[in-house]
Amino acid sequence: TEIQLTVVGNYTINTTYANDTVNNRGFQSPQPNLQVNVSASPNTAPTAPNLNLPTNFTNFSYIPQLNWSNSSDVDGQAITYGIQVDKNNNFGSNEWVRAGIAETVNTTGESTITGLADGEYFWRVNATDGTAWSAYSNHRRFTIDTTAPRLNVTAPLNNSNTSSTSVSLNFA
């Protein structure tokens, strides 16, 4: 007789006796109960995501949306993502972190990043199937610069007159 145990867990199977087709009864000796442990097949982590946008070394006057290609999972499990943004490429003091980003069709992105001041940042993403995490993607770098340049014309003076057909502008 075959018993299908499809759920992970520990089972106790009572094997006190068995009957054959002519009603002969046999008893289990010395242990009437059989202990069985059903474990899950090994889980394979998803593949590492590939970063799409922004491209490396891009400058912004705002906090950009970050976008990556979806990972795959050979076990067919749903995938979510984690993202790290840091001022250092060793990601030792993350400026912004988020996990549990739901996968969308083909590519997934993050547009709710807040609190990043002007400066240079590195970012990377990893994926999880709820059991195992992938390796991190390669990291990329972007710069946020929200300060407009100052333009200060020192010569010629405003409302000045000249007879020259060539005017030189001086800036400070």
**Measured distance CA(134)–CA(117) in Å, rounded:** 29
Tell me the mean pLDDT in the region 102-117: 93
Q: What is the pLDDT of residue 124?
A: 98
pLDDT in tens, 117-165: 999 999 999 999 999 999 999 999 999 999 988 888 888 878 888 888 8
CB 137 within 8 A of CB 68: yes
Q: Amino acid letter at 153?
A: V
pLDDT at 35: 67
pLDDT band at 9 (very low <50, low <70, confident <90, very high): confident
> Is residue 5 predicted with pLDDT exceeding 90?
no
Among 146, 134, 145, which Cα is nearest to 68's? 134
Cα gap 166→159, rounded to integer Å: 16
Distance CA 70, CA 46 (A): 10
Q: In the block, which residue shows the tokens 């003091």?
A: 93
